[in-house]
């Protein structure tokens, strides 16, 4: 086995703690394989009502699946192209549809996802990638320019409104999440390998941003999706694993992950399980804190 990969596996098994992270991760917690297959996984989202995890399983096309048990998933029809998800404030599943250049929503039912609704679409978008919703009901989503690395953007979709660009300074905005109180928008950029924070102004536009987090890491695996916990800490995937960062931008903890990890989401019956989607694997990690809103 490759020496570097062996080292990453050892780190992941040992759960290296640092800073103030001891009160975030459950005692003796280790990465646990929840599902594995020869696909690329991303876009995890937890359905609290049904007690199920949904995520994207990419093989030629993005498609959502539901984790029904160990090594058991059910494919969700009519979800081709969904590469980013978020649980909406109304309980519906929000999706960034890169294939159809759209922002959509689904009703979550006992049998799966139904009643697909297109909230906005534009053929000129590159490929909507990730999204989140703030307490105001506004949906923010990224549209990265992965090919040209020139004109990526972040859009805001207000309830009943039309999408408007609110950020054009990052060429490849990828992951996106808002603070629990809706005052700050966090955006990762896969070109600059950085995470940014932007104040959300009263009218929904964004104020001047700052580099929120830029850790030193030998890994060049690009920053991707994010989530937040009940304390407002931000969980950033990329550069070798999951970085847990305080709202002030201070590193609290690092979870080394041997595979490229694409996104994270809290779930579980008590909201204290962190799910990590990766290439060919989905991991779970027991936490002491809940996800925001769970």
281, 275 in Cβ contact below 8 A? no
> What is the structure's pLDDT at 141?
98
- Nearest-angstrom CA–CA distance, 174 and 38: 23
60, 31 in Cβ contact below 8 A? no
**Sequential DSSP letters for 155-221:** EEE-TTS--EEEE-S-SSEEEEEE-TTSSEEEEEETTTTEEEEEEBPTTS-B---EEEE----S--P
For the segment 171-189, the average pLDDT, to the nearest whole number, is 97
For the segment 261-286, the average pLDDT, to the nearest whole number, is 97
**Sequential DSSP letters for 96-120:** EETTTTEEEEEEEETTEEEEEEEEE
Q: Spell out the residues 6+ positions from residue 245 whose beta carbon is closer than 8 angstroms to its own.
A: 195, 212, 213, 233, 234, 235, 236, 251, 252
For the segment 138-146, the average pLDDT, to the nearest whole number, is 97
- Considering the four listed CATH numbers 1.10.3720.10, 2.120.10.30, 3.30.870.10, 2.40.50.140, the one that applies to the domain covering 46-224+231-253 is 2.120.10.30
What is the average pLDDT score of the chain?
92
Indicate the domain borders of the chain.
Answer: 46-224+231-253
What SS3 state is found at 77?
A: coil
Query: What band does 71 get if pLDDT is binned at 50, 70 and 90?
Result: confident
pLDDT at 2 over 60: no
């Amino acid at each position: 086995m490759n020496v570097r990969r062996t080292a990453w596996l050892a780190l992941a098994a040992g759960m290296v703690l640092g800073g103030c992270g001891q009160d975030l991760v459950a005692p003796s917690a280790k990465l646990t394989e929840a599902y594995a297959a020869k696909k690329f996984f991303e876009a995890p989202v937890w359905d609290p009502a049904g007690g199920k995890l949904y995520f994207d399983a990419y093989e030629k096309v993005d498609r959502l699946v539901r984790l029904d048990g160990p090594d058991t998933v059910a494919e969700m029809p009519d979800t081709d192209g969904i590469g980013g998800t978020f649980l909406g404030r109304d309980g519906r599943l929000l999706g960034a549809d890169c294939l159809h250049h759209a922002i959509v929503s689904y009703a979550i039912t006992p049998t799966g996802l139904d009643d697909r609704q297109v909230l906005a679409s534009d053929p000129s978008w590159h490929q909507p990638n990730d999204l989140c919703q703030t307490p105001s009901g506004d949906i923010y989503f990224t549209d990265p320019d992965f090919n040209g690395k020139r004109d990526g953007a972040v859009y805001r979709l207000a309830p009943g409104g039309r999408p408007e660009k609110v950020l054009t300074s990052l060429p490849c905005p990828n992951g996106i999440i808002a603070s629990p109180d809706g005052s700050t928008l966090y955006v990762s950029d896969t070109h600059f390998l950085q995470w940014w924070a932007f104040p959300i102004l009263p009218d929904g536009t964004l104020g001047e941003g700052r580099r929120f987090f830029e850790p030193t890491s030998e890994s060049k695996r690009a920053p991707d999706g994010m989530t937040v916990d009940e304390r407002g800490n931000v969980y950033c995937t990329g550069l070798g694993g999951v970085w847990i960062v305080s709202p002030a931008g201070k590193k609290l903890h690092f979870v080394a992950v041997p595979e490229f990890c694409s996104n994270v989401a809290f779930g579980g019956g008590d909201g204290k399980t962190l799910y990590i989607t990766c290439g060919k694997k989905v991991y779970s990690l027991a936490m002491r804190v809940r996800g925001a809103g769970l």
